[in-house]
Chain A
Amino acid sequence: MTLEFWVTQTFNGLSYGALLFLLASGLSLIFGVMRVVNLAHGSYFMLGGYVGLSVIWRTGSYVLALVAGALALAVVGIAMERMFLRRLAGQTLGQVLMTIGFALIFQDLALLIWGGDPYSIRPPSLLAGVVTAGPGRFPIYRIFIIVIAVAVGAALWLLLDRTRIGAMIRAAVDDPEMAQGVGIRVPRVSLGVFALGAALAAFGGVVGAGFLGVYPGLDFEILPYAFVVVIVGGLGSLPGAMVGSLLVGLLDNFGKALFPELSYFTLFAPMALILALKPTGLFGRA
């Protein structure tokens, strides 16, 4: 094991963790506010990637692809919440089944529209290339992902912690009934959070399409990672999603590099251990 190996794998793990944060922060928020276990969240990631792909094909603009992917899935999220999930408020099992149903529908739709071939979004030339520093070689695109995730994390933290709307969201997490009892329009808060979560996942999907690609099955491949992040970090906790993402990114990378045949074990065994020691996850509250 050379120094180069450790540096490269650590960097790869961090950048993968950064991507996972874009996906998992929304999932965690949605669970925190609405107690909805959204199994279609991986589909938002995949569909975001596909929408971004189509926009790139049409316009050639990477920035437009990011914006369009996020907006398109925000609309999908709003429709799902308003027209379907809200009708099943409080019925956990019904909601879970409904989100699985949506995930399967999205899978078929994506196959119908974009076909079965794998695609990848080529990053703009500004983000292509590699930086060499000491023993490590760092692709600029992966550095970009880390920067984006840090920026998104900071923005989310400011929103949740420093604004009145953020305090309203946290009030709705603490006690949704009482939040309505002080005049907070909780249904609207839920809708906003759902749209934001879907948009973040789709944004992550466009970003991720630059190095994971987009292909049929990506949705269900990425979903367990998002859940591990959220469960390890603690449901509904933003710092939890940050730490969980980095942990899972690093574990996954080192697991695959060091023990390729055991890579699921190296990912899930630490999760089981953390849950055994702290059932609410690292930052979760009972």
Chain B
Amino acid sequence: MLELADVHTYYGESHVLQGVSLGVRRSEVVAILGRNGAGKTTLIRSVIGFSPPRRGAIRFKDADITRWPPYRAVERGMGLVPQGRRVFPSLSVVENLVVARRDGGRFTLARVLELFPRLAERAKSRAGRLSGGEQQMLAIGRALMGNPDLLLMDEPTEGLAPLIVREVGRIVAELKREGLSILLVEQNLPLALSVADTVHVLSRGQIVHSSAPAALMANEAVKSRYLGV
């Protein structure tokens, strides 16, 4: 589904991703872990096309999308739930969903509102007025409106109350059951390990550990050195 080969991404002269290679298979959930500043968001930005890599290649569904503009990657079947949610604050909840609509899949406006009853209740509210948890639901719903095959999620539980963190965890598991491929950046270790098929640990722009969740769980050295737990 998705494949990164030796990706190097820069901000100006600052060399952030230093040769990242990884893959996400159909219906697989791959989690990216790592401390703040490790380069997780930069990895997501490189894949969607916000910050294209300077070297290396990104392939998605049999196309080289390395330097594609973001909207083309979305048209090909990528969905983004960005860090910080980034809902469109002056648009209503329904407008946020409708602008992202791409027909030809199981997710319609009605289906997304059914999945997130809170959003249905606040359909006409401006997105900027929603609570953090509601904005996160909206950001996920908005990504689903594009009927993606691959979902990129960047810290979807950041800054949310425990109850809502559990709700997000439930949604991610549900999407996985539906067969979506997910590249999940998450600082919440238990959540990431419970849902992922594969985990990669990122440090200073390089992957320093890759394994199944259980193997990482048992690896105290990696956990204390790179994750601070």
How many interface residues does chain A have, given as a range? 20 to 34
A177 to B52, CA, bound (A): 13
Complex contact A183–B102 (CB within 8 A) = yes
Complex contact A182–B80 (CB within 8 A) = yes
A174 contacts the other chain (Cβ, under 8 Å)? Answer: yes
Q: Which residues of B contact A167 (CB under 8 A)?
A: 91, 95, 98-99
B82 contacts the other chain (Cβ, under 8 Å)? Answer: yes
Chain A min CB distance to B167 (Å):
22
Mark interface residues in A253-286 (1 if CB within 8 Å of B CB, else 0): 0000000000000000000000000000000010
A174 to B96, CA, bound (A): 11
- In the complex, which residue of chain A has the Cβ closest to the Cβ of B95? A167
B188 contacts the other chain (Cβ, under 8 Å)? Answer: no
A110 to B206, CA, bound (A): 59
Complex contact B75–A183 (CB within 8 A) = yes
The interface centre, meaning the residue of A164, A175, A183 with most chain B CB atoms within 10 A of its CB, is: A183
- In the complex, which residue of chain B has the Cβ closest to the Cβ of A164? B98
Complex contact A175–B75 (CB within 8 A) = no
For chain A, residues 175 to 212, give those with C-beta under 8 angstroms from any C-beta of chain B: 175, 177-187
Q: Which residues of B contact A (CB under 8 A)?
A: 48-50, 69-71, 74-75, 80, 82, 86, 88-91, 95-96, 98-102, 142-143, 145-146
Of the candidates B71, B82, B98, B143, the one whose C-beta lies within 8 Å of that of A185 is B71
A86 contacts the other chain (Cβ, under 8 Å)? Answer: no
Give me 10 A-to-B residue pairs in the complex whose CB atoms sit less than 8 angstroms apart, sorted by A's number.
A164-B99, A170-B88, A170-B90, A180-B50, A181-B74, A181-B80, A181-B86, A182-B143, A182-B146, A183-B146
Chain A min CB distance to B156 (Å):
15
Chain B min CB distance to A158 (Å):
15
A98 contacts the other chain (Cβ, under 8 Å)? Answer: no
Total A-B Cβ pairs within 8 A: 66
- Chain A interface helix/strand/loop/mixed: helix
Chain A min CB distance to B75 (Å):
6
Q: Which residues of B contact A185 (CB under 8 A)?
A: 71
Complex contact A171–B91 (CB within 8 A) = yes
Q: Which residues of B contact A182 (CB under 8 A)?
A: 74, 80, 99-100, 142-143, 145-146
Closest 3 CB pairs of A and B: A183-B74, A182-B100, A180-B70
Q: Which residues of B contact A164 (CB under 8 A)?
A: 98-99, 101
Complex contact B69–A175 (CB within 8 A) = no
A168 contacts the other chain (Cβ, under 8 Å)? Answer: yes
A185 to B74, CA, bound (A): 10
A167 to B126, CA, bound (A): 12
Question: Assuming A177-B50, A180-B70, what are 5 further A-B pairs, CB within 8 angstroms?
Answer: A164-B99, A174-B88, A182-B100, A183-B74, A184-B71
A185 to B70, CA, bound (A): 9
A173 to B99, CA, bound (A): 13
A143 to B59, CA, bound (A): 61
A173 to B89, CA, bound (A): 10
Complex contact A168–B71 (CB within 8 A) = no
A136 to B38, CA, bound (A): 73
A182 to B146, CA, bound (A): 7
Q: A182-B142, A182-B146 are in contact. Are A174 and B102 (CB under 8 A)?
A: no
Complex contact B88–A178 (CB within 8 A) = yes
Complex contact B91–A170 (CB within 8 A) = yes
A185 to B71, CA, bound (A): 6
Complex contact A183–B100 (CB within 8 A) = yes
Chain B min CB distance to A130 (Å):
44
Chain B min CB distance to A278 (Å):
18
Complex contact B86–A175 (CB within 8 A) = yes
Complex contact A174–B100 (CB within 8 A) = no
Complex contact B99–A181 (CB within 8 A) = no
Chain A min CB distance to B126 (Å):
11
Q: Which residues of B contact A180 (CB under 8 A)?
A: 49-50, 69-71, 74
